[in-house]
Each structure stands twice: as structure tokens, then as C-alpha cells.
Structure 1
Amino acid sequence: MAILTRDQLLRMGFKSVGENVNISDKASFYRTDKIIIGDNVRIDDFSVLSAGKGGIEIGSYIHIAVYCSLIGAAKITLKDYSNLSSKVAIYSSSDDYSGEYMTNPMVPEEFTNVHHEDVSIGKHVVLGCGTVVLPGVTIGDGAAIGALSLVNKSCFGYFVYAGVPVKRIKPRSKNLISLEHKLVN
């Protein structure tokens, strides 16, 4: 994976870019002026970050694996230490599938009924491979979402969730908080 240089990142016009940022030259970004990237962030090949009016805010110590997508008009927030496994898709906008309206961004707005709502991924959250997160979802700090899950509702922190749609499975250890303190100190 070829990594963009700091100079290349700064020329791309991000709202801000932290230190130790490793972004593949094969990742794609749209509306970089609405994207904030913290420190110690890695974004792998073929990921797509398309910011809308609300923007995308990526905290520190974050990994976005291959083929991830963060897309939508509302704000998407990834808080510190969160992790997106491969092929995770986070949407802050979604078409109306009822048939009462038309769909897709090439249709004029007066014929569609797109739902836009912020998405927030908490600290220490891990999203398993192939997970889809829909508009309006907040995933609490320390939650873990199993592979191939559909997150269509908000999730409490420090629980493991999985399924289509997600269901709470069991509590998750909070030991990672003490590990965070050791890392920071």
C-alpha cells in the first residue's frame, strides 16, 4: 500500500490533518474541506469518504480498513480508538424505499424523500467486516458490532451486538479503558 505524503495530504484540502496519518493513495475523498482527520489514523486501499454538508470527523488512533465507505449529507463522527473492519459502510443519508418517491441522486430533489441524520461512532468501538450503519445511529463508547451486521438503531456502550438487524449479545469488557490510560501516559 503506497502512503500519501504529508505534503500530498495538505494539498488535498482537508479541513485539518493530524500527525502520523497514513492514507493509501488508492483511497478516495470527496469534499475534503468538510473532512477532519486526527492523529495516528490509517485509511486503507479503496475506502471512500464522501462528506456532505455535515462533514466527516475522524478522531485519533483510528483504522479504516480496505473497501470502507462513509457517505451522506449529515455528519459522520468516528471518535478516538474506533476501528472499521473491511467493507464497513456508514450512511448518514438514505433514500425512501417505500415506492412513494423516486430514488438516487440523479433524480431532482422534489421527486425524492432522502432521510439525512447524523451518525456517531463512539470511542473504542469496533465494527466487524461487512457491517452497515444507517442514518441516525449512535454507537456508544466501547460497543463491538459483529461481522455482517445491520445497525439500524442506536447501541449502548460496552456491549457486543450482532445480526440483521443487530441484537445485543453480551457485555463487553471495559479493560480497554485502562489500556488507553497506559497508552496516553
Structure 2
Amino acid sequence: MLLLKTRLSRTLRTIKSRIYRSLKVADDLELFERTQHGEGCVIRNPAHINDPSRLTLGNHVFINDGFVALTHGEISIGDYTLLAPRVMFLTVGHDYHYTGREFRERQTPRPIKIGRECWIGAGAIVIPGVTIGDGAVVGAGSVVTRDVAPWAIVAGNPARFLKTRVPNSLAVLP
């Protein structure tokens, strides 16, 4: 386990985790085997990640409090992406044609991919199989049911395209 310039709170427990430089984690968050974090990430308490081994964070990702990730499928979050409070990523759904026990057992996991430099607003929900392109913004309370183009701004339930965001040519990111 690599712990370089890492600030960990007193109640953090790690089990064979790979933690890179400058990861800051709030109280009571557990990181499990094969969790992948880039440098400079922040995960605020509380956060619920049912299978952290399926969550991959790029560098300088900020996850605010109340994050929920149902990681039956893979979730990847690109560099410099910001998640506001109470964002939910759901990688599994059910086939509603089935009933009873069969309904509960027939889950279809699909990955969620979030690009670099994205901003996901408070209370947004992203459903299975969605890709959000680099630089996209998702408005607060939105339900993202389909892919979002790079540099698009979307909002609503379901999330709809509002306009294109102009990349900041002055920003210099590694």
C-alpha cells in the first residue's frame, strides 16, 4: 500500500487498497481491495459505494457528501471532475417483464463513464450504461437516461440538452 502525502482521518480503514498521493478521505469511509484513486482526490462523508473495486477515479476528482454508487457494473470518473452533494450512479437495472423472485434476480449491470472536467450537479441521478463526455455539465436534480455529448449542458428529468459549453482555452491542465 502506498501512502505518500496522504491525509487520512482517524476512522478510515483500508484493506489492501491502492491509495495514491494526496487522497483526502472524510471520516468513516472504508476503502476496499482494488479501489483505484488518482492523485489529489477528495471523497466527502457520507459516501456509499457497494463494491469499491469497480470504481475508478482519475486525478483531482472531488466527490461531495451523500454520494451513492451502486457498482454492480464499472464506474469510471475522469480527471478534474466534480460531483456535487447527493449524486447517485446506478449501474444496475431490472427487466420489468419478470415478476417476483425472478425480477429481483435478473439484474443487468452496465457501466457508467464520466469524462474529464465534468460537473455533476446536486441530486443528479445517472442510470446504467450512460457515458457523459468530457467537459459536460449536468444540472442539479437531473436524471441522465442517455449519453451526454462532450461540452454539453443538460438538465431536467429526463435530462435534455440545453446548450454547448465553450471550453476555457485559458485553462491549463496536465
Pairwise TM-score range, normalised by the shorter structure: 0.7 to 0.9
Does the C-alpha gap of structure 1 residues 35 and 179 become closer, same or farther in structure 2, counting only changes over 3 Å? same
1:165 equivalent to 2:158? Answer yes
Say how many residue pairs are matched.
167
Closer, same or farther in 2 for the Cα pair 1:111/1:60, shift >3 Å? closer
Other-structure match for 1:38:
38
The C-alpha deviation readout for 1:101-138, integer Å capped at 9, x for no partner, is 34xxxx6x786221111110000111000000011000
State the SS of the aligned residue for 1:17: coil
Structure 1, residues 48-76: CA drift from partner, whole Å, max 9, x if none?
A: 12227x71101111100000011121110
Alignment check: 8 A CA contact 1:125 1:142 kept: yes
Structure 1 residue 17: deviation in Å?
A: 1.3
C-alpha contact (below 8 Å) 1:101/1:113 kept by paired residues: no
Which has a greater percent of helix? 1
* Maintained 8 Å contact 2:49/2:71: no
Distance 1:13 1:45, change over 3 A: same
Equivalent-residue separation in structure 1 for 2:67 and 2:103 (angstroms): 30
Gaps of at least 5 residues in structure 2 are 1-6
How far residue 34 of structure 1 moved from its aligned partner, in angstroms, is 3.3
The verdict on how the C-alpha distance between 1:28 and 1:5 changes in structure 2, with shifts beyond 3 A counting, is closer
1:50 alignment counterpart: 50
Partner of residue 4 from structure 1, selected from 8, 12, 16: 8
For residue 21 of structure 1, what is the aligned residue in structure 2? 23
Letter aligned with residue 101 of structure 1: T
Task: Name the SS of the counterpart of 1:33 in structure 2.
Answer: coil
The 5 A counterparts of 1:39-118 are 39-51=39-51, 55-96=54-95, 98=96, 100-102=98-100, 112-118=105-111
Structure 1 runs (4+) deviating above 4 angstroms are none
Kindly tell me: are residues 180 and 49 of structure 1, through their superposed partners in 2, closer, same or farther at Cα, counting changes over 3 Å? farther
Q: Are 1:28 and 1:47, in contact at CA under 8 Å, matched by a contact in 2?
A: no
Match of 2:142 among 142, 149, 157: 149
- When the two chains are superposed, the root-mean-square deviation of aligned CA atoms in Å is 2.2
Q: Kindly, what percent of the aligned residue pairs are identical?
A: 23
